[in-house]
Structure 1
């Protein structure tokens, strides 16, 4: 009987946590939860190939080609003749170029 109350208390505590977390982000549904915020660091070192930039920026492939010709200072690295773009550096560059 003593352990029944223990498990009931654990269940109520978990229920309170999840309801509180949901209400905290009620007006901001795009807010990241605890698990998503921990996974954020994995994305910062991702490299994009040149043919993936259009998807990342949300523009056409032709626009990416003209952008690369117009701005050769876009952050990139070359490995074995292949050009890669660090995702986080590219995001920062886009924010700075727009300002």
Structure 2
């Protein structure tokens, strides 16, 4: 019974924080949302060539041909290893369909 009260109190405190933060920025549409706060960490993050298929949702074989078919894809070569800047790759993928 005591544990239930702690979880309810914690839930109310978290809800109060998010409601208060939302009301504070109610008339300011340029403020960063919660998803944009977490995206800031991606700006300087590099993805290895072996792991980029998870990010893009394609097979490992397709990643190898990606640079050959699309030389404009943002990538960096360091000691013969290919890395993809996560934020730039996300932006490139969203602009690819346009």
TM normalised by structure 2 equals 0.60
Name structure 1 gaps, 5 residues minimum.
1-12, 25-31
Aligned to 1:98: 97
> How far apart are the structure 2 equivalents of 1:93 and 1:83?
16
Q: Deviations over 1:14-34 (max 9, x none)?
A: 47724736xx9xxxxxxx64x
CA spacing shift, 1:78–1:14, aligned 2, 3 Å:
same
1:56 aligns with 2:55: yes
d(CA) in 1 for partners of 2:17 and 2:72?
46
Taking the aligned partners of 1:68 and 1:15, their CA distance within structure 2 comes to: 45
Does the C-alpha gap of structure 1 residues 17 and 37 become closer, same or farther in structure 2, counting only changes over 3 Å? farther
Number of corresponding residues? 76
Q: Aligned in 2, Cα 1:17/1:93: closer, same or farther, shift over 3 Å?
A: same
2:84 aligns to what SS in structure 1?
A: strand
What is the Cα-based RMSD across aligned positions, in Å? 2.9
